[in-house]
Amino acid sequence: MAYVLIGALLVSTVFAVIQPFLMSIGGPKPTPPPPTEPIVKVEAPPFNADSAFVFVQKQVAFGPRVPNTPAHQKCSAWFANEFKRYGLSVISQKFEATHFKGTQFNAVNIIAQYRPELPRRILLAAHWDSRFQADKDDKNKTAPIDGADDGGSGAAVLLEIARTLAAHPIDQGVDLILFDVEDQGDDNGEPETWCLGSQYWAKHLHKAGYMPYSSVLLDMVGAKDARFMKEGISMQVAPQTVDKIWALASSLGYSSYFIPETRSGITDDHVFVAREASIPMIDIISTPNEGDDPFGRHHHRHSDNMSVIDKNTLKAVGQTMLAFLYGFSQSPKS
Ligand code: 1BN
Ligand code: ZN
């Protein structure tokens, strides 16, 4: 047996030594790779922050998007119509949700599918409702807020991505989901009082066995002072996705927004999507402050209106997300 091994070793060593020589005199050549079409990475188109800004304005103009109000109903119809206008297939997933104060909410998750026939899919999500009361404000605490940033900004970035996909097609399935009733929870209560739309969707997926290969939530992505830290639960469920997005943002010049520091976990839609549907979703959410009020001075206050929205922040997030999406896509060289 030992002789056989030594023999084999000798033969392979001699072959390795003489192979370059044999090749130079027209001997055996390495097998060429199978012929394929030349492949080039698709360049991400520019993200139009002016258009995203108008999408925030439009939502705020409906009035606070609190479930069971005309503003909520009109805004959901507008979203569905906009996604359809950009050629996406829309499912309006209606459901009833019980508010922690006892009201039954008529709610709707809006699921917009880009190229639904493709099996390889990326999921981008945001919530679209706005909070029923300004808990943290000094005045008018029981009046609903505009939610320009908290609700409006994430939905606007997704809508602008849909518009961009229509103008610059890719060979990649994309699902854009707007969750309802994220922001009507009890500040002093259980985490389960929040994120009722994502909880419903995660238990009633629009497609049986749905499993995107990457999944990102955007929340509070439009304010002037936005700072995106690596959120704790995202780092547990999909650290590679977090690292990839923060690296992309840095390569695009947005490292003043995307800070490569890990912070503690936040109750948000991604928690329930990961827990109930086993889909590892990450959360890009602005937490500019440390301590008890990490989400910034406007959070759950009436100052969360158009005056906090900054096109530069929308651009940083939107362009990073386009780089992420288009980076997965490849197209034959023309
Ligand atoms: C984020 C923005 N959230 C609400 N508005 C989620 C949240 C829920 C954050 C409970 C903290 C506590
Ligand atoms: Zn909120």
304 touches ligand 1 (CB under 6 Å): no
Counting ligands in written order, the one closest to the CA of 269 is 1
Task: Give residue 223 CA to ligand 2 midpoint distance, Å.
Answer: 13
Tokens 């009109």 identify what position? 74
Structure letter (DSSP) for residue 128:
-
Percent of the chain with pLDDT over 90: 84
Q: Whose CA is nearest to atom 2 of ligand 1?
A: 150
150 touches ligand 1 (CB under 6 Å): yes
pTM of the model: 0.88
Q: Is residue 1 part of a domain?
A: no
Q: Is residue 308 part of a domain?
A: yes
Q: Is residue 11 part of a domain?
A: yes
Alpha carbon distance 176, 154 (integer Å): 11
Helices 196-203 and 269-277 sit at what angle, rounded to 10 degrees?
A: 20
The dihedral built from the CA positions of residue 167, 124, 126 and 265, taken in this order, carries a sign that is negative
pLDDT digits (tens, 9 = 90+) for 281-303: 999 999 999 988 999 999 999 99
- Whether 305 and 140 have beta carbons less than 8 Å apart is answered as no
pLDDT digits (tens, 9 = 90+) for 149-165: 999 999 999 999 999 99
Q: Is residue 132 part of a domain?
A: yes
Q: Indicate the number of domains in the chain.
A: 1
Alpha carbon distance 168, 42 (integer Å): 10
Q: Is residue 121 part of a domain?
A: yes
Q: Is residue 43 part of a domain?
A: yes
Task: Give residue 300 CA to ligand 1 midpoint distance, Å.
Answer: 9
pLDDT digits (tens, 9 = 90+) for 113-142: 999 999 999 999 999 999 999 999 999 999
pLDDT digits (tens, 9 = 90+) for 13-57: 333 333 333 333 333 444 445 545 555 667 899 999 999 999 999
User: In angstroms, how far is CA 179 from the centroid of its own chain?
Assistant: 12
185 touches ligand 1 (CB under 6 Å): yes
Domain hosting 55: range is 6-329
pLDDT digits (tens, 9 = 90+) for 65-87: 999 999 999 999 999 999 999 99
Q: Residue 59's domain is classified under what CATH number?
A: 3.40.630.10
Q: At residue 245, what are phi and psi to the nearest 5 degrees?
A: -70, -40
146 touches ligand 1 (CB under 6 Å): no
Alpha carbon distance 299, 134 (integer Å): 9
pLDDT at 94: 98
Q: Is residue 334 part of a domain?
A: no
pLDDT digits (tens, 9 = 90+) for 180-218: 999 999 999 999 999 999 999 999 999 999 999 999 999
Angstrom CA distances, 145 to 106, 142, 298, 299, stand at 19, 9, 10, 10
Counting ligands in written order, the one closest to the CA of 187 is 1
Task: Give residue 247 CA to ligand 2 midpoint distance, Å.
Answer: 27
Q: At residue 178, what are phi and psi to the nearest 5 degrees?
A: -105, 110
Q: Is residue 220 part of a domain?
A: yes
The dihedral built from the CA positions of residue 230, 231, 236 and 240, taken in this order, carries a sign that is negative
Counting ligands in written order, the one closest to the CA of 220 is 1
Query: Within 10 A of 82 (CB to CB), how many other CB atoms are there?
Result: 18
